[in-house]
Amino acid sequence: MAQIRGWCKGGREQFIWVGLVRGTRAALDVVGRLFFPPVCLGCRNLVAAPGTLCSSCWKSLRFIEQPWCPVYGTPFEHEMHDGHLSAEAIANPPPFDSARSAVSYTSIAQHLVRGLKFGDRTDLAPWMARWMHRVGEDQFGENAVIVPIPLHRSRYLKRRFNQSAELGRALASISGLQFAPQILIRKRMTRQQVGLKASQRLKNVQGAFAVPDEAKASLVGRSVVLVDDVYTTGATAFSASRALKRGGAGTVHVLTFARVLPEDFAMEDRELI
């Protein structure tokens, strides 16, 4: 009986302790919301929960949905049969195996990307990565490793962080995959791609990436999820994918938050990134 009473007492104390912990967390949450209320990721207006968009910003966010080209990930206007390739995939097969992007590079997406990249808004990365994870789940094999597009060390010292690495780290946390930024390096300084034409972008990053010798053993045969913030013309993804394949990668799947779709290039007021 004494042993039974001890168990009951211990269980009651544990129950009380759990209740106190939960009550304290709830109280702290209320206080936190009072002094630091959640705001929209886009316009910073008040919203109901952290990491969300207000109704106005949400309406302007264009998600890229199927049907899409299985190689380039560009959406089709009409339903296509399984395995149907876009004209671009047939005429210009890329060095990567697939590309996926969460949203079109339109108003609110452009604002989020620029906030992360140029506004030191690293707090945006975990939320942006959630949308990327949703669209890129078919790329996350058991043997996959997440590799961000690297910055040259001089630019990294100036900017203090790599936006692609922030997205990649958040994706690794969500997916449980290995985050391996050391697998790919930018071996030479390149011009910023902003304002360059497609041919200039391709030439700018040609031969800019490499897999260090010490990383090749861990890369051989692996599936790589190559992470970047925006897919514009594909120049960076092409160059980095070729370097990864030369370094021994089995497959390379490009995953970005935003994508500049073909019709976006015709919009004169759109400043490409």
Tokens 């264009």 found at = 62
3-class SS of residue 174: helix
Measured between its terminal Cα atoms, the distance across the chain in Å is 74
Distance, in Å, from the CA atom of 36 to the CA atom of 93, rounded to the nearest integer, reads 49
pTM of the model: 0.82
pLDDT of the chain, 273 residues: tens digit per residue = 555 455 445 556 665 655 555 655 544 444 444 446 888 888 878 887 887 889 888 888 999 999 999 999 999 988 777 778 999 999 999 999 999 999 999 989 999 999 999 888 999 999 999 999 999 998 998 889 999 999 988 777 777 889 999 999 999 999 999 999 999 999 887 766 766 777 788 787 888 899 999 999 999 999 999 999 999 999 999 999 999 999 999 999 999 999 999 776 555 444 556
